[in-house]
Structure 1
Amino acid sequence: MNVKVIRARALDGVAHGFLGRRGGVSEGVHAGLNVGTGSQDDPAVVEENRRRARDAVLPGSTLVTLYQVHSADAVTVLSPFEERLRPRADSLVTNRPGLALGILTADCAPVLFADRQAGVIGAAHAGWKGAIGGVTDSTLAAMEALGARRERVAAAIGPCIARASYEVDESFFRRFADAEPENERFFADGKPGHFRFDLEAYVAHRLAAAGVKTVEMLGLDTYGDADRFFSYRRATHRGEPDYGRQISIIGLG
């Protein structure tokens, strides 16, 4: 089965793709295109999946990823680094051709950025911690340091857990409401003492508030579509021993 690449209209003309679990060689709970080096999957299988993912988006490029830690930290990549030397951060930016920037997710929101005119791209991992911490703001600042202008940047938010699937408790809600009272609009009532959080809409809000004029939300729910996507929360609810990770990639040819 071929790798399924989901593309955003906002990023037309830039090599990019949001990949799910289709087209890989992993088996069992990791079945499909698991690219998670931190998973319990066979490392050789994961490496093959990463190769397939890269070639589906930008053949011949060098894939660079991070040791993601749910931070707001962005790193500028000017040359490839070894996998074992991955920076601990949650966003990558570059203006160098031949590099494919990769973000791994399993419910968190992947965000891909491009200023076509400046030839600057970025990729961010926006879980709730990184999102409220400002990982998208850090990405834009790092892109601007390379010559991008945020009003020219287009951003697309890929597959992530949807509000219908994302139940959180009162303390989670309070953290966002205390940060900005208007954040309450990203929550719907859940069972008593709980809420349902719209991560994708919140990330889009942060991008727009930062001055990004073109923001595309793909509206794809990782939790609710087990055939297409890996989901940490779904694996937890099912009592599975581990979970796969999907990748989102952007690069300059």
Structure 2
Amino acid sequence: MELLLPDWTAPANIGALTTLRAGGFSPAPYDDGQGGPGLNLGLHVEDDAALVARNRALLGRLLPSEPAWLTQVHGVTVLDAAALPDQPTADACISSTPGAVCVMMTADCLPVLFCDRAGSVVGAAHAGWRGLAAGVLEQTVAAMRARGAQEIMAWLGPAIGPGHFEVGGEVRQAFVAQQAAAAAAFRDYPGRPGKYLADIYQLARQRLAAVGVTEVSGGGLCTVADTRFYSYRRDKTTGRMASLVWLK
């Protein structure tokens, strides 16, 4: 199994990682992109559920507990990873309980991991453009602060890069209507009038800065261009990676 570790200055009691495609049990089109089996962690993409369970069990060997798997719907709901309801539906979770694992699944959307400088609260958010525009990052930060978190830092995991994220004018307007500075994160798509290339990393940094989170790392890996990652935009039928964070 191949892993990506966040390049942030988190306290020593923070565990965090993002999975890649390679090293699991899933066949094509959920494979590793090189002809070998893949580590698909999503149960909702028509992969064999038994193989997904084996992939999740393989990942589980690295974790203190079963991750707080959620049904993600591009919303702004934030749940406690240590106290999930039945059939949890949310696009963010937090925890101040050691051993409880926050997790987000992605295949082009932006996963954002959080912790505070004191190592007392962690969080994870799923930020596609809809959730990002609706405030999922702000809601996650607010939930962490309600638990006493101060000096929050964030890591931006692998997502669709600015050279591949084609969007329409309605997406640009959704952000610019809230923050005029968001216009800088969009550039005209050459030869495609009315279309733009969006920088989801820049948009996330702007939204975080607006709520006082300025220690932000990551944000340089494109899921479409780099075949180590699953990408819905590139492949359509594909698996899901996971980004996870927990208190040790």
Please, what TM-score do these two structures have when normalized by structure 1? 0.89
Partner of 2:65: 61
Structure 1 gaps, min length 5: 237-241
Question: Is it true that 1:48 corresponds to 2:54 in the alignment?
Answer: yes
Distance in 1 between residues matched to 2:15 and 2:142, nearest whole Å: 22
Output one character per residue of 1:58-85: Cα deviation in whole Å (capped at 9) or x when no partner. Answer: 3x3221121101001111233466xxx3
CA distance in 2, matches of 1:177, 1:103: 27
Task: Trace 1:1-253 onto structure 2 (pairs within 5 A).
Answer: 2-11=1-10, 13=12, 14-31=14-31, 32-56=38-62, 58=63, 60-79=64-83, 85-117=86-118, 119-149=120-150, 152-190=151-189, 191-226=192-227, 228-236=228-236, 242-253=237-248
Question: Runs of 4+ in structure 1 displaced over 6 angstroms?
Answer: none
Which residue identity lines up with residue 26 of structure 1 in the other structure?
Answer: S
Question: How far is 1:123 from its partner?
Answer: 0.4
Please give the alpha-carbon distance, in whole angstroms, between the structure 2 residues aligned to 1:110 and 1:11: 17
Structure 1 residue 4: Cα displacement: 2.2
Equivalent residues of 1:168, 1:196 under 8 A apart: yes
Q: 1:5 to 1:53 in 2, by over 3 A?
A: farther
Deviations 1:66-108 (A, max 9, x none): 1101001111233466xxx332110000111111111000100
1:41 CA displacement:
0.5
Deviates more, 1:209-218 or 1:33-42: 209-218
- Is the 8 Å Cα contact of residues 3 and 24 (structure 1) preserved in structure 2? no
Distance 1:28 1:76 in 2: 34
Shift of 1:26: 0.8
Q: CA deviation at 1:209?
A: 1.3
Task: Give the Å deviation of 1:220.
Answer: 0.5
Q: CA RMSD in A?
A: 1.6
Gap change, CA 1:118 and 1:101, over 3 Å in 2? same
Deviations 1:192-228 (A, max 9, x none): 22110001111111111111131112310001112x1
Q: What one-letter code is carried by the residue in structure 1 that aligns with 2:76?
A: A
Answer yes or no: is the 8 Å Cα contact 1:80–1:99 preserved in 2.
no
Structure 1 counterpart of 2:247, which letter?
L
The aligned residue for residue 35 of structure 2 is none
Question: Residue 110 of structure 1 contacts residue 125 of structure 1 at CA under 8 Å; is this kept in 2?
Answer: yes
On the 8 A contact 2:133/2:174 being kept in 1, the answer is no
Q: State how many pairs are aligned.
A: 239
Aligned residue for 2:216, secondary structure, equals strand
Residue number in structure 2 paired with 1:239:
none
* Distance (whole Å) between structure 1 residues aligned to residue 59 and residue 81 of structure 2: 20
Question: One-letter code of the match for 1:89?
Answer: A
For 2:22 and 2:67, the matched residues in 1 are separated by 19
Secondary structure at 2:88 match in 1: coil
Deviating more after overlay: 136-145 vs 112-121: 112-121
Structure 2: runs of 5 or more not aligned: 32-37
Q: Tell me the amino acid that sits aligned with residue 72 of structure 2.
A: Q
Q: Which amino acid aligns with 1:212?
A: V
Q: Secondary structure at the match of 2:213?
A: coil
Whether the 8 Å contact between 2:188 and 2:196 is mirrored in structure 1 is yes
Residue aligned with 1:24, SS: strand
1:9 Cα offset (Å): 2.3
Deviates more, 1:70-79 or 1:200-209: 70-79
Instruction: Give the AA of the match of 1:233.
Output: R
Structure 1 position 43, deviation (Å): 0.8
CA shift in 2, pair 1:116/1:86, >3 Å:
farther
